[in-house]
A = this chain, B = another copy of it.
Amino acid sequence: MRGQQAFEAYGRRAREYADLLGSISATAAEDRALVERWASAIDGPVLDVGCGPGHWTAWLRELGVDIEGIDPVQEFVDIAAHRHPDCAYRQGTAEALGVPSASLGGALVWYSLIHTEPSGLPAAFAELARCIRPGGGLLLGFFEGSAVEPFGHKVATAFTWPIADLARLLDDAGFIIEHAHARTDTGARPHGAIVATRASGA
């Protein structure tokens, strides 16, 4: 199971990763603007799915968002809880969010499915569709590319995704695409983001 391997790899390098990338100042200003704009329009609790060391969760909580962070890697949950003791973190995966159906106003899934086998994405999107209330929001960040392709990410194999392929899977899962973009920052891999809304009655 590639997912399990990625979790273990992150577990071994959680501290190193957290020190390097686990702060809000290490994120791109454009991404912060997008996440803030998205979160400010959400009505209801937000789940930070794959929260890692918890920096997005804590930053959004400071901005007044009702938010909880979950991550499959226990080491990340421990680091997040230690760094941000006023935030709620627990272990959980994108495929089993551990919340009631239609209970979420939104989910932030920021680079959290990059290691998921392409064939495994529908299960994660189905779980997100189950948990996000109709009209609720989803914000997805990912490595953008012209094809669904694996590449040697420094922690574990990751995949690039064309916007169109993710839009197709999200549409199939019952989401309406509101916004999508690709961007290449200097020295970084192409970045993609999709904002979607849970369709009503789907």
Contacts and interface: CB of A to CB of B under 8 A. Distances in A.
B180 A179 contact: yes
The oligomer's copy count stands at: 2
Interface stretch (A98-106, A112-120, A168-176): A168-176
Interface residues of A, number: 17
A181 interface: yes
B182 A181 contact: no
Contacts of A11: none
A171 B176 contact: no
A6 interface: no
A202 to B, nearest CB: 9
A23 interface: no
A141 B131 CA distance: 32
Given A163-B176, A164-B170, A180-B180, 13 more contacts: A146-B199, A162-B171, A163-B178, A164-B167, A164-B168, A164-B171, A164-B177, A167-B167, A167-B177, A168-B168, A178-B182, A179-B181, A179-B182
Interface of A: 146, 162-165, 167-168, 170-171, 176-182, 199
